[in-house]
Structure 1
Amino acid sequence: MSKTIVVYHSGYGHTQRVAEVVAAGAGGELLAIDAEGNLPEGGWDKLAAADAIIFGTPTYMGGPSWQFKKFADASSKPWYGRAWQDKVFGGFTNSASPVGDKGATLISLQTLASQHGGIWVSLGLLPSNKKESTRLDVNSLGGSVGLLVQSPSDASVEEIPQGDLDTAKLYGQRVAAIAAKLRG
């Protein structure tokens, strides 16, 4: 079994809910980035000990939240020492719109993982893109690089589409399974 950490920032609770589901799928642990962009005490040590790291952030104005970006910039210390070299990585993002430039956020997460010498895990699911498809279907937003979630701006945390939450659980399972295979 691999050790998976889901490190995330959530502005309004929606991304936190998705992080919880991803972590449940992965059998992983949550590590929240606070409102000031900082990790809790011991957070960097947990990331160093992880086999897999899954990044999570809302998409604000076409990219990660500034709090997640502060964390990403602070990861230059483990980057310099290659502390995350060959770890397995994944990522997810959430925004109010079906598209909302989430792809740009996922590419920034994938790039961060690559800068650390990591191994990125794609979503690995076909999109639900037929006429009969609904938001209850897995991967209804058609992601491939990572997990995409939509939470309308006037929706509560409890109103995140079930299809997105089901996709989140499957993605957590996939990342953890690949980390376990590579760990041998």
Structure 2
Amino acid sequence: MQARIVVAYHSGYGHTAKQAEAVAAGAEKVPDTEVRLVSLTELNDELWERLQEADAIIFGTPTYMGGASAGFRTFVEATSQVWGDNLRWKDKIAAGFTNSGNMSGDKLHTLVDIALFAAQHGMIWVGLAEYGGWNTSQGSPEDINRLGSWLGAMSQSNNDESPEVTPGTSDLRTAEVLGRRVAAITHVQLRGRSASDLAAASA
């Protein structure tokens, strides 16, 4: 059974786009998974069709001034039709990721905002299930989940460096882990739904 994953993101300077590519690469490592990277720069019919067809949507945005970018918020507000039309995204898997220039940058606020958005659509949220790294004297900035986030994947990019340089490898590996987990859980959900449908049909 094929799982369809969409990584839907807004990126202001390319750093979040690089993180989105890592999320997609992680999801693609799970067999029988179709992954589409979708930029939220243009909200057209093709975008809405892809999101509707998806079994899981992983949302991404940079964190600017403690919250999601204006581009991502424009997308969020444009989903009101989907929300009002009998919760068309109900029971889809959802997850989120974000990038900022500072180590903290109040990125948690952005992830909470994305999770609440997904909850309003009736989606099922999947977080990051990796022990926090870089938190002991033996730790390293190369550790997975070095920023210690579990609601979603965080990355940090120096403001004076291009996307060719940053975010760093540990944050990109963390993004891959999130993508892989979302794909795996989506397959579990699809198999469970299929088994439930078969049981109901034979009852």
Deviation at 1:121, TM superposition (A): 0.2
Hey, what does 2:8 align to over in structure 1?
7
- From 121, 124, 127, give the equivalent of 1:119: 124
Q: Percent identity?
A: 45
Aligned AA for 1:21? A
Q: Give TM-score scaled by structure 1 length.
A: 0.96
- From 143, 149, 173, give the equivalent of 2:155: 149
For residues 67 and 20 of structure 2, the distance between their equivalents in structure 1, rounded to whole angstroms, comes to 18
| Mean Cα deviation higher: 21-30 or 46-55 | 21-30
Does residue 1:105 correspond to 2:110, yes or no?
yes
- From 63, 74, 78, give the equivalent of 1:74: 78
Hey, what does 1:20 align to over in structure 2?
21
- From 169, 176, 187, give the equivalent of 1:162: 169
Deviations, residues 86-109 of structure 1 (Å, cap 9, x unaligned): 000000000000000000000000
Runs of at least 4 residues off by over 3 Å: none
Aligned AA for 1:43? L
- The structure whose Rg is larger is 2
Paired residues in the alignment total 181
Does residue 1:134 correspond to 2:143, yes or no?
no
For residues 152 and 137 of structure 2, the distance between their equivalents in structure 1, rounded to whole angstroms, comes to 23
Aligned AA for 1:139? N
Deviation at 1:135, TM superposition (A): 1.9
Given the superposition, is the C-alpha separation of residues 9 and 143 from structure 1 closer, same or farther in structure 2, using an over 3 Å criterion? same
Preserved CA contact (<8 Å) 1:33 1:40: no
* 2:3 aligned counterpart, secondary structure: coil
Contiguous gaps of at least 5 residues in structure 1 = none
Deviation at 1:68, TM superposition (A): 0.2
1:19-58 to structure 2, matched below 5 A, reads 19-27=20-28, 28-34=35-41, 38-58=42-62
For residues 44 and 15 of structure 2, the distance between their equivalents in structure 1, rounded to whole angstroms, comes to 20
Hey, what does 1:174 align to over in structure 2?
181
Preserved CA contact (<8 Å) 1:57 1:64: yes
Deviation at 1:157, TM superposition (A): 1.0
Deviation at 1:136, TM superposition (A): 1.1
* 1:26 aligned counterpart, secondary structure: helix
Hey, what does 2:91 align to over in structure 1?
86
| Mean Cα deviation higher: 127-136 or 63-72 | 127-136
For residues 59 and 185 of structure 2, the distance between their equivalents in structure 1, rounded to whole angstroms, comes to 16
For residues 4 and 79 of structure 1, the distance between their equivalents in structure 2, rounded to whole angstroms, comes to 20
Preserved CA contact (<8 Å) 1:5 1:47: yes
Give the aligned CA root-mean-square deviation in angstroms.
0.9
Deviation at 1:132, TM superposition (A): 2.1
Hey, what does 2:195 align to over in structure 1?
none
Preserved CA contact (<8 Å) 1:54 1:90: yes
Q: Give TM-score scaled by structure 2 length.
A: 0.87
For residues 185 and 95 of structure 2, the distance between their equivalents in structure 1, rounded to whole angstroms, comes to 11
